[in-house]
Chains A and B, each alone.
Chain A
Amino acid sequence: MTDASKTEAPDTDERVKEMSSFRRSLIRPELGGMVGTVAVFVFFLLFAFDSGMFNSQGVMNWTIVSAQFMIIAVGACLLMIAGEFDLSVGSMIGFAGMMIAVFGVVLGWPMWLTIIITFAICLAIGAVNGYIVVKTGLPSFIVTLAFLFILRGFTIYIPQTLENKTIIGGIRDAAEGDWLGSIFGGKIFGGFFNILGDAGIIATFERGSRMGEPVVDGIPMMIIWAIILIVFGHVLLTKTRFGNWIFAAGGDAEAARNSGVPVDRVKILMFMFTALCATIFATCQVMEFGSAGADRGLLKEFEAIIAVVIGGALLTGGYGSVLGAALGALIFGVVQQGLFFAGVESSLFRVFLGLILLGAVILNTYIRRMITGER
């Protein structure tokens, strides 16, 4: 391209309104999630401040619940931006947990091998999901709905056939001292909490065998995984070439293909990533509970999708933010646990959730129209 042909254009266009930098920095996909987060924290600071929600135990309580939502929301978010859904996330969580119990407890395999094989199986199922969607052109809604039933069916059938029960325990014993198991099960920074406890900043046990130890004795790996996945997802989406392909695949698959984006590969990989997140969730959960149950992960797919949508993603793909999804998951977790602390009748949780979902989506739609010029 030669510079000789360069023609000078006027530097301003009278039809482009100047936007203040403050307004511009606000107009972003995560705005709905940020507003919602501030709103729920203000609400609970006002109505549940004295309930113990904001002492070390309380904070850990809702942080863990939020972290659980975050792990599956990151996967659901990237997949939704790539233009697809995965309704089999909840069943995948139950299935993955059961596989760990079957391999590690019933068959007695070493825990590290159990975990690696479980991840391999679940990623393969994610790839099959994606492959069927991409090759048949069927809506992912239907394909993954089929897998919702298939995986849940196996999760009930396998333990019943092998052990005549639907809950298999003993996972914690099987994972004792295993290097890979501790990456999903343990807690870290225990020393730091001891120091905080000794300094009187956080609560300690006042009697019993653990007297003097802090009540919160470390950060569970579930939270660490949530942070790792959020950072990974955010960087992948916004800072890499592959991230551009995720947006393109969901925005308009045909246009992306015409520009040389390997749309099918992107979509299959995102189905696998969603499966990865579900399996990480399941592994942390069985390590924490010490057992796998056939009903684990029920309705988790919808909770993930709700968190993603509160976070500003467009249901039809091509638009969204991992940070937004993480905020959506935080709102979800804080509201669910906060209502308990505030002493609100637990059935009202659904009412609150519905109202937040509606409010966030309306705000998000408005913001998105401002950014993208949709009409």
Chain B
Amino acid sequence: MSDQSKTPIIQMKNIEKHFGAVIALAGVSLDVFPGECHCLLGDNGAGKSTFIKTMSGVHKPTKGEIIFDGKPLDFETPRDAMDAGIATVHQHLAMIPLMSVARNFFMGNEPVKKVMGINFLDQALADKVTMDEMRKMGINLRGPDQAVGTLSGGERQTVAISRAVHFGAKVLILDEPTSALGVRQTSNVLATVDKVRKQGVAVVFITHNVRHAMAVGDRFTVLNRGQTLGTAVRGEISPDELQDMMAGGQEMATLEGSLGGTV
């Protein structure tokens, strides 16, 4: 935990979300500091997705408060959240494989320059920025015109993350970025998360893989059945304990005996 003295960039206070008769979130609190990687763990159906969708403006909380940068926030649309600096990188990325890395990187935010009063795409700037950003993240492109389809899954995640950061994300929500990746690619993505965090971006890392969380997380919050089971600071909790909390303790403990600690 690097900056305990600072104020959190985003605070979620007692968030409740009901869908009709279903209580998806029953009072979840979480805060994230700039430059921190806060891991949100939970098994399927724990409410992770609902929670991050509330954070990114897709859902409005039924009860509770969101404080962003010291001010209470009331997002109407995901666009509001994006404009405020909350970016989400989904499992299924907003990347178009047929298009070049540079064109993807600037999609929706294309730089323009005026030539004879007409706005043209500033391809040279787009190419340069893309190459610089990719080099910082450790991806060697053949050229900025290389298609995203030629990149590996991990590299695509990295492009998506560095794009979000380049366009001013203060809070970066990563929705299971490593769930579909191989070992090597996962470590690349985790390294990217580490770089982004060091730039002062607050990262919310959603996963159900305890080992990936332990690799980069500063703090860990476990969700179970729509409730927080508590937030732990790095070094104060063991992977086994996290695993137990995620699975709801009891059943896992009995199961673990029979599986010999393989889960």
Contact = CB atoms under 8 A, between A and B. Distances in A.
Interface of A: 1-2, 5-7, 9-13, 16, 19, 239-241, 243-245, 247-248, 251-252, 255-256, 258-261, 314, 318-319, 371-374
Contacts of B200: 2
A174 B78 CA distance: 56
A interface majority secondary structure: loop
Contacts of B120: 239-240
Contact of B149 (A9, A240, A248, A374): A374
A374 B166 contact: no
B138 interface: yes
Interface stretch (B60-68, B107-115, B171-179, B246-254): B107-115
Interface of B: 79, 82, 90, 93-99, 103, 106-110, 112, 119-121, 123, 135-140, 142, 147, 149-151, 165-166, 195, 198-200
A256 B103 CA distance: 11
A22 to B, nearest CB: 15
A1 B137 CA distance: 12
Contacts of A239: 120-121, 123
A373 B97 contact: yes
Contacts of A261: 107-108
Contacts of A372: 97-98, 147, 149-150
A7 B136 contact: yes
Contact of A9 (B96, B108, B140, B165): B140
Nearest to B93: A255
B195 A251 contact: no
Contacts of B103: 244, 247-248
A2 B199 contact: yes
Given A256-B96, A373-B97, A11 B107 contact: no
Of A5, A255, A256, the most chain B CB neighbours within 10 A belong to: A255
A244 B106 contact: yes
6 shortest interchain CB distances as A-B pairs: A373-B150, A260-B108, A251-B96, A259-B108, A373-B149, A241-B110
Given A247-B98, A251-B96, A255-B93, A1 B165 contact: yes
Contacts of B199: 1-2, 5
A318 B99 contact: yes
Nearest to B198: A5
Given A241-B119, A256-B107, 9 more contacts: A9-B135, A9-B139, A243-B121, A251-B96, A261-B107, A314-B98, A318-B98, A371-B147, A374-B149
B136 A260 contact: no
Contacts of A252: 96
A240 B90 CA distance: 28
Given A260-B79, A260-B109, A372-B147, A318 B142 contact: no
A2 B195 CA distance: 11
Contact of A241 (B112, B135, B149): B112
Nearest to A258: B94
Nearest to B97: A372
Contact of A10 (B123, B140, B198): B140
Contact of B94 (A13, A244, A255): A255
Contacts of A9: 135-140
A374 B150 CA distance: 7
A5 B120 CA distance: 32
A374 B94 contact: no
A16 B143 CA distance: 11
Nearest to B78: A258
Contact of B107 (A240, A244, A371): A244
A46 to B, nearest CB: 37
A10 B135 CA distance: 9
A31 to B, nearest CB: 15
A259 B195 contact: no
Contacts of B119: 240-241
A371 B123 CA distance: 19
Of B107, B123, B151, B166, the most chain A CB neighbours within 10 A belong to: B107
Nearest to A374: B149
Contacts of A314: 98
A368 to B, nearest CB: 8
Nearest to A255: B94
Contacts of A251: 96-99
Given A1-B165, A259-B108, A373 B147 contact: yes
Contacts of A16: 140, 142
7 contacts: A1-B166, A7-B136, A7-B195, A239-B121, A248-B99, A259-B107, A372-B98
A16 B165 CA distance: 26
Contacts of B121: 239-241, 243-244
A2 to B, nearest CB: 6
Contacts of B147: 371-373
Contacts of A248: 96, 99, 103, 107-108
A255 B79 CA distance: 14
A56 to B, nearest CB: 36
A256 B108 contact: yes
Contacts of B82: 260
A255 B95 contact: yes
B149 A244 contact: no
Given A247-B98, A251-B96, A13 B140 contact: yes
A107 to B, nearest CB: 38
A261 B93 CA distance: 15
Nearest to A14: B140
A248 B166 CA distance: 20
B234 to A, nearest CB: 20
